[in-house]
Amino acid sequence: MLKKSEFGTSIKVAPKIILLIFILLIVILFSTGMGYIEISPLEVIKIIIAKISGDNALLHGINEIFPYVVYDVRLPRILTAAIVGGGLSIAGVVYQGILLNPLADPYTLGISAGAAFGAAIALLLNITLLGIYSVALFAFTGSVATLFAVIFLSSSDGRLSSNNLILSGIIIAAILSAGISFMKYVADEQVSIIIFWLMGSFGSKTWPDVSLTFLFVSIGFIICIFFARDLNIISLGDRSASSLGIDTTRVRLTLLITASLITAICVSVSGIIGFVGLIIPHLMRFFVGPDTRKLLPVSALTGAILLLCADTITRAVLTAEIPIGVLTALIGGPFFCYIFKRKRRRTGG
């Protein structure tokens, strides 16, 4: 006989979530202390508490530049990196679920190409209408426009099939890539700025970046969790899912827009960071299985931890800063090859 606990969703995964939250906090604490100026974890804690409580007595005996370094320079960057890591992983889980394809990632539907296209236009034409946020805003607009172009192209008779979505995404991404290449070609001295933006960076992030990404990612996460069980059932195929009472088109569209907005905001603030959204959900499926209700929180936390670690490596460990997008691809790519090969051996298919 099956016991109720065998089906339990919260029971087995709760300790893992608590552990991951704990690890995330530790990583945030230590990475804040790391860098050109070394600050001990204890001092970091004191500075943060002093900032929150306004009790400046705690800062006694701490170098007076430290609070500035911790609060204004490092924490915004660190938190942005963690939130983007979580956001890209959530988007990855959702894309793989709605496209019924474990190889999908947040960029499969050309969201990144759209963002890159928008950013390239802003950089090329030197648009500074909205100050430092011009590029991010253009990138965001580019990715959202791409999303709706993909949805428009792939819908037929009010339906949204996963094959059509993937195909439309690839076509539109290809067109946009050609556009980006053309802009690079005509860009002259701006070309290095475009290339640098495309490779991604968390440098010079500010508190508004943190709050904006946090807002999008957390609202997105709640929507995705709301539809998590429906997403599980969609993996049975459209006909089975709709015979189980699921409006597959509505669920798919809602989740598609949600995951894409999460991706768009992440790309706009940080540039294109590959492999996180592909690998994290994959890796987490080994640990918690394919149930989206477990996969979403666990992937979000692990993604946050890993991207923060990667960013800390480029910022504080390596002597020269490597673009974060390059680093994640350099580490993530071979790692993905390894788990891909291992998994195939295990299932024999």
Partner 1 sequence: MADNNVFDINNISFYYGKNKALDNLSLAIEPGNFYGIIGPNGCGKTTLLDITVREKTPSSGTIQYLGCDIKKYSRKGLAKEISLVPQDFYINFSFTVKEIVLMGRHPFIPRFSSPSSFDLDIVNEVMEELKIIKFKDKYITELSGGEKQRVIFARALAQNTPVLILDEGTSNMDIQYTLNILDIVDSNVKTKKRTVVAALHNLNLAAVFCDKLVFMKSGRIVHHGSVDNVLKEENIKDIFEIDNHIYFDHYSNSKQVVFKRKRLA
Residues interacting with partner 1, by CB under 8 A? 1-2, 4, 6-9, 100-102, 226, 229, 232-233, 235-240, 242-247, 285, 289-291, 347, 349
Q: Which is nearer to partner 1, 30 or 336 (CB)?
A: 336
Q: How far is the CB of 228 from partner 1 (least distance, A)?
A: 9
Q: Which is nearer to partner 1, 40 or 243 (CB)?
A: 243
Q: Which is nearer to partner 1, 50 or 166 (CB)?
A: 166
Q: Which is nearer to partner 1, 105 or 209 (CB)?
A: 105
Q: How far is the CB of 10 from partner 1 (least distance, A)?
A: 8
Q: How far is the CB of 247 from partner 1 (least distance, A)?
A: 6
Q: Which is nearer to partner 1, 64 or 157 (CB)?
A: 157
Q: Which is nearer to partner 1, 11 or 26 (CB)?
A: 11
Q: Which is nearer to partner 1, 41 or 237 (CB)?
A: 237
Q: How far is the CB of 235 from partner 1 (least distance, A)?
A: 5
Q: How far is the CB of 279 from partner 1 (least distance, A)?
A: 16
CA 283-289-294 angle, to 5 degrees, is 95
> CA of 37: how far to CAs of 56, 60, 66, 67, 70, in Å?
21, 18, 8, 12, 10
